[in-house]
Amino acid sequence: MFYDEKMDFTSYSEELERLAGLYDNVDLEVVGSSVEGRDIYRAHIHGDGAPVLVTAGHHGNEPAGPMAALNYIREAGENGSTLDITMYPMVNPDGYEADQRENAHGVDLNRDYGFFKEPETLALIGSIDREDYIAALDMHEAPRSTKGFYVYESTPIREDIHLGQTAVDAVGEKHPISWGVVRRDRPGCFRDFWASRDAYAVTFEPPGTFEIVDRIDMELRALHASLDLLEETTADGSWDTYVASGDYVVAAP
């Protein structure tokens, strides 16, 4: 089955638990609670390959990411994964239920990295159990955008492995593209936090005015293309210096 529309948080949690129960290579853990007491989940998709971090739902009014995450967990459960994926499928469950960008304190969680004042970001960072993620992929949406898909990239740039462009190209095979790859500094955001820790950090941004089934498809295409490239380029097992050779570059779009 394909999850093609937003479901409420209770149904979403039940589906996560059900999937985790079905697949041996998927572990699910509650790592904390939101302001209003909703569970914050971490799914671990086990693989022998390089470690990658994937997040969705930092902004509650951007439901395509959490739905894409659910689809991805089901696929990876069925097909297995080479990469070792740590996934936080819904970082902001209160915002998701209220259909608002911020958490229940009215705080934009994607400006709380490095500060960690909110229970949701604290739950995430407090449950990070390895230091060597080669990439951090964060699924967002641009709620008012009418144009097309784009990505933000904050990264120790490696010109030979262009993750953001690869994601854009994969989405562009079926959907409209707007700005393509945008490089932008944003203090306190998840992407810059991980980029400063030598992870290749990309944010996916489907246009929020499109049908949700298409936005979920965009997230999944971007995710697949990114993970495939990461798997391919770390197949020799030497991922400890994967991005360390690049300089951290931030430029205006």
- Based on the shown chain and the rule CB under 5 A, indicate whether residue 215 belongs to the binding site for Zn ion: no
Site for Zn ion, residues 98 to 157, rule: CB under 5 A: 140
Shortest distance (Å) from residue 135 CB to Zn ion: 18
Q: Which stretch binds Zn ion (CB under 5 A): 12-20, 53-61, 113-121, 147-155?
A: 53-61
Q: Which is nearer to Zn ion, 59 or 191 (CB)?
A: 59
Binder of Zn ion out of 38, 59, 215, 221 (CB under 5 A)? 59
CA 62 from chain centre, in angstroms, equals: 12
Q: Which is nearer to Zn ion, 140 or 191 (CB)?
A: 140
Q: Which is nearer to Zn ion, 145 or 233 (CB)?
A: 145
Shortest distance (Å) from residue 182 CB to Zn ion: 13
The CA-CA-CA angle for residues 96, 52, 211, to 5°, reads: 35
Shortest distance (Å) from residue 140 CB to Zn ion: 3
Q: Which is nearer to Zn ion, 59 or 74 (CB)?
A: 59
Q: Which is nearer to Zn ion, 13 or 203 (CB)?
A: 203
Shortest distance (Å) from residue 151 CB to Zn ion: 12
Positions that interact with Zn ion (CB under 5 A): 59, 62, 140
